[in-house]
Amino acid sequence: MKPRMFVRFALVAFFAAVAGVFLCRQFFPQPVAASVALHEVLHGKLDLDDRQKAQINVFEQRFAVQRRALELELRADNARLADAIEAEHGNGPRVIAAVDQSHRAMGELQKETLGHIFAIRQILRADQAQKFDRAVVHALTDDVR
């Protein structure tokens, strides 16, 4: 193949790939993560007053620290699980114990997340709480329904 023809072919292939990516994104948009959608409702669709924004900001800062600590605990649990799997090569007692510990950390993260959500809900007006509740339910069931 001549160099000039190769360059033309490469350019056509490149532009076809770019067009394919563009069309794929247009016709098959990526779903918004549930936490992102809930955050958008909270900060963009509830018409929060300044007092509510300040309280929510405090809640979010506190929760970010708790969530980070629990996520680090989960990572450590996953590392222990990997070590147990590598040592036992099966569903042995170390693997079972590591899975159980991981489940405890996941459960704690879920409880803390719900506590955070309920704390926010407590400072909302009734009309805001209804919208927030719908967003929470949608975030929890979006993939299910």
What DSSP string describes 75-95?
Answer: HHHHHHHHHHHHHHSSS-HHH
pLDDT in tens, 25-79: 666 555 445 555 777 878 788 888 999 999 989 998 999 999 899 999 989 988 9
Residue 145: pLDDT over 60:
no
Q: Are 132 and 120 in contact (CB under 8 A)?
A: yes
32-141 to CATH, choices 3.30.390.30, 3.40.930.10, 1.20.120.1490, 3.40.50.300: 1.20.120.1490
What average pLDDT score do residues 14-24 get?
64
| CA atoms of 105 and 83, how far apart (whole Å) | 18
Q: What is the pLDDT of residue 144?
A: 46
Domain ranges of the chain: 1-30, 32-141
pLDDT value of position 32: 47
DSSP, res 31 = P
The SS3 of residue 46 is: coil
